[in-house]
Amino acid sequence: MHRDQFEQFIHDNRDAFDSDVPELKVWGCIRQDLDRRKHRRLLLWRVAGIAAAVIGLLFCGVALGGYLNSPTPHSIVALEDVGAQYAAQEAAYQEEIQQKYQQLVSYEQAGAVQQDLKHLDATIAELRKELQAAPPGKAEDIVKDLLENYQAKVYILERVLNRIQMADPDFESTPPKKANTDDRIL
């Protein structure tokens, strides 16, 4: 109830309160204070906007950098894709290895070399797996290593066949007519 009386008093005597007008200096200080607050608020929004833009650009940069540097699934690289020359060399090595292996199989003690040939076959299989997952610049190096392993396999077979021929002059160095394809090492 006390509040209602107070409000009524102000309402009734309003003209008496409005008679005094503050000086221009007071209004100037109020305006200056309001302008300062407005300027501070504007400055704060500008700084916040710039900070948000910088954070957004950093985020975009990190996302783009992560996308560009992410390991991409490489397409399966075949020997033919690296170069026709390498594919032809591989085919020639495989044919030569098969011929020499067929000669060796016709000899009774061919099992002595099996371990070395299996080791080379495992190395060749591993190189083929590496070739399938190789980045574009490394494929040619892997193919060269693969061909070097084929050369080593041919060399081993030639040495074994030469030693067999030296030890047993009756051993035929010509390949048999038709060998069982299950005996292929490749």
**Domain residue extents for the chain:** 2-69, 79-183
Q: What is the structure's pLDDT at 102?
A: 82
Q: What is the structure's pLDDT at 178?
A: 40
Dig out the tokens for 11 from the structure. Answer: 């309402």
Per-10-residue mean pLDDT, the chain, length 186: 81 78 79 80 87 94 83 52 73 86 71 75 84 76 84 87 79 47 39
Dig out the tokens for 186 from the structure. Answer: 């490749």
DSSP line for 124-171: HHHHHHHHHT--TTTHHHHHHHHHHHHHHHHHHHHHHHHHHHHH-TT-
Q: What is the structure's pLDDT at 83?
A: 67
Q: Which residue, chain included where needed, has tokens 């030569």?
A: 96
Q: What is the structure's pLDDT at 67?
A: 80
Q: What is the structure's pLDDT at 181?
A: 37
> Hey, is 106 helix, strand or coil?
coil
Q: What is the structure's pLDDT at 109?
A: 59
Quote the CA–CA distance of 161 and 168 in Å, as a whole number: 10
Q: Which of 114, 113, 116, 118 is nearest to 160 (CA)?
A: 113
Q: What is the structure's pLDDT at 184?
A: 38
Backbone angles phi, psi at 129, to 5 degrees: -65, -40
Asked if 185 and 128 touch (Cβ cutoff 8 Å), the reply is: no
Asked if 123 and 149 touch (Cβ cutoff 8 Å), the reply is: yes
Q: What is the structure's pLDDT at 97?
A: 84
